Amino acid sequence: FQRLSICVGGFTLGAADAIVRDGADALDIVELLVASSLVIGTRSEFGALRFTMLETIREYGLDRLAAHGEVATVSAIHADYCITLTEGAIPHYDGPDLKKFSDLVETEFDNIRAALSWSLGLPDAERAVRLAGAIWRNWWARVPPGGEAWHEGIAEGTAWLERALTLRQGLPVEHVAEALMGAGEFAVLQGNPERARAYGRELLERSNAEGYGYGAYWAHLVVGNAAQSNGDLAQATDCYKAALAIAPTIRDPENHAAMALVNLGEIATGQGEYSRAEPWLIKAAAFVRVCGNPWVATYIYHQLGHVYRHQGQYAKAASALAECLACLAKAGDGRMKIAFMELAHLAVDIARPATAVQFLAAATRIPNAHWPEGELEGAVAPLRASLPESRFTMEWAAGEHMSWDEIIVLVSTLASDDGLDASHNVAKASTAHGLSPREVEVLRLLVDGQSNRAIGETLSISERTVEAHVQHILAKLNLESRTAAATYAIRQGLV
């Protein structure tokens, strides 16, 4: 049993089989330990069978391991098990089994941390770099983005990656690629595009030199993400197109093509060029239906819902957002808030404020969802003003208590409403009130609760220009405040 004491936070039968070795039957050993009350059988939070050794017994086992001079040997076996587990999961992140394998790796995070500490302590360059790189996606996806726990995870993942990458000299690109792409993506998330670009360029140079297409694909994504975060949309577009060209030549081509396409669609959407974004996203959706990656699908269908909403194709928007919710359910993803918020904006656009209130209330029930300061209040204020207080309270309570099936039925009802698009002609309504097309765009984003800065970034105009548009809107509608304008727009069906 002393070999199993190397495990931290418990172990599975698979881990026991890998670590015990020497021809011993892991099941027999574990059953004996359980019968002797030295090991306790439990279930992980994801339902997997695990075995936990009492800490005093574990310490005794480690002492025995040290006395027999086996600590280094068993630690290496333990690290290799963690590497096999985590690297083996990576291809599954491209398809329908994403959640299953993500949960499997998540269960072993205590063991992975222990293996990383041991590898870095020696140091063992290859094991440290491979293991740190294999889990970068898990740090990013463990909890919904934006909150304190997410930032802490990104910071810890960055620390492991950067420590490991100090040892990368002399390793082949296949062993370094995941660590470089992870460090690059995390640098973007932490607001350091120059550092991200450096990691991406190193990965690109080495991948091209060593003929590693998968690394080159990801290098273009990393450099593209860095450029996009820095406002260089032309370079970002070039990088995503370069990645798209490589996708057919690497593993899981449909998944990787979809990832590049959704990034291209996101750039066009952010610029308000919805007719340019639509074909990128439709093509991405076709690819994701083949590969079955629910995580990538959520972003595609959310973007499509956003595009269709701004084009006035409301039934299509609802249908896309229904697909987004279905994919989020498969992925077990806490990012459902983005879909509910988009659905609330859709309900506002089609003059159904009561439905919008229900979607917002449902969004507040999502565990661990991050709400930037003022986001929820900004969305709620015009809806509260547009409904009698008793009605608002009733609809909010209904949204808070809606079951998942009830939510799906509500969204499906919107998606199947053939008269939805024809009954809400925003262009005519806005023209009747003297608003220009640009003022309608600003008003729509104002109703979404965005600040002047956020509106400017979305429309690629200055904050001062946004303020001028807001003042023109208030003057044309004879209103005194942004909240009044948002409320009026909802009541009059202007957006």
- Given 376, 408, 423, the domain boundary residue is 423
Residue 300 domain flag: yes
What average pLDDT does this structure show over 185-200? 97
Taking the C-alpha atoms of residue 442 and residue 152, their distance in angstroms, rounded to an integer, is 35
Say what the pLDDT of residue 333 is.
61
Say what the pLDDT of residue 38 is.
80
Question: Does residue 320 share a domain with residue 373?
Answer: yes
What average pLDDT does this structure show over 48-72? 89
Contacts 24+ apart (CB under 8 A), 160-167: 160/116, 160/132, 161/132, 161/133, 161/136, 161/186, 163/120, 163/128, 163/132, 164/116, 164/119, 164/120, 164/128, 164/129, 164/131, 164/132, 164/133, 165/129, 165/132, 167/120, 167/123, 167/125, 167/128, 167/129
Prediction pTM value: 0.82
Lowest-pLDDT range of 157-161, 405-409, 435-439: 435-439
Q: If you average pLDDT over each of 2-6, 197-201, 386-390, 418-422, which comes out highest?
A: 197-201
Question: Does residue 442 share a domain with residue 404?
Answer: no
Question: Does residue 352 share a domain with residue 331?
Answer: yes
- Given 389, 404, 423, the domain boundary residue is 423
Note down the domain range covering 314. Answer: 292-423
Residue (of 43, 22, 45, 40) closest to 367 by Cα position: 45
- State what percent of residues in the chain have pLDDT above 70: 94
Question: Does residue 472 share a domain with residue 385?
Answer: no
357 in helix, strand or coil? helix
pLDDT digits (tens, 9 = 90+) for 211-257: 999 999 999 999 999 999 999 999 999 999 999 999 999 999 999 99
Say what the pLDDT of residue 143 is.
74
Residue (of 298, 295, 343) closest to 317 by Cα position: 343
Say what the pLDDT of residue 480 is.
86
Task: Kindly list the distances between the CA atom of residue 181 and the CA atoms of 86, 132, 211, 329, 377, in Å, as whole numbers in the listed order.
Answer: 16, 11, 17, 27, 37
Question: Does residue 418 share a domain with residue 297?
Answer: yes
Question: Does residue 386 share a domain with residue 317?
Answer: yes
- Given 396, 423, 450, the domain boundary residue is 423
Question: Does residue 480 share a domain with residue 363?
Answer: no
What average pLDDT does this structure show over 350-376? 88
Question: Does residue 405 share a domain with residue 332?
Answer: yes
Does residue 432 have a pLDDT over 60? Answer: no
Does residue 26 have a pLDDT over 90? Answer: no
What average pLDDT does this structure show over 148-158? 92
Residue 434 domain flag: yes
Report the CATH number that the domain containing residue 444 is assigned in CATH.
1.10.10.10
Q: If you average pLDDT over each of 13-27, 130-144, 264-278, which comes out highest?
A: 264-278
Say what the pLDDT of residue 332 is.
66
Residue 62 domain flag: no
pLDDT grade for 430, boundaries at 50, 70 and 90: low
Does residue 476 have a pLDDT over 60? Answer: yes
Does residue 425 have a pLDDT over 60? Answer: no
- pLDDT, the chain, mean: 89
Report the CATH number that the domain containing residue 336 is assigned in CATH.
1.25.40
Question: Does residue 439 share a domain with residue 345?
Answer: no
Residue 148 domain flag: no
Say what the pLDDT of residue 421 is.
57
Does residue 208 have a pLDDT over 60? Answer: yes
What average pLDDT does this structure show over 356-367? 91
pLDDT digits (tens, 9 = 90+) for 448-466: 788 888 888 777 777 888 8
Residue 381 domain flag: yes
What average pLDDT does this structure show over 370-375? 84
Does residue 438 have a pLDDT over 80? Answer: no
Taking the C-alpha atoms of residue 398 and residue 56, their distance in angstroms, rounded to an integer, is 51
The Cβ-side half-sphere exposure at 165, using a 13 Å CA radius, reads 22
What average pLDDT does this structure show over 317-323? 93
Say what the pLDDT of residue 249 is.
97
pLDDT digits (tens, 9 = 90+) for 279-312: 999 999 999 999 999 999 999 999 999 999 999 8
Residue with tokens 């970068």: 136
Say what the pLDDT of residue 427 is.
45
Residue 239 domain flag: no
Question: Does residue 362 share a domain with residue 377?
Answer: yes
Number of domains comprising the chain:
2
What average pLDDT does this structure show over 139-161? 88
The H or E element containing residue 147 is none
Question: Does residue 370 share a domain with residue 441?
Answer: no
Residue 456 domain flag: yes
Question: Does residue 468 share a domain with residue 353?
Answer: no
Residue 392 domain flag: yes
From start to end of 39-176, where are the E strands? Answer: 39-43, 49-53
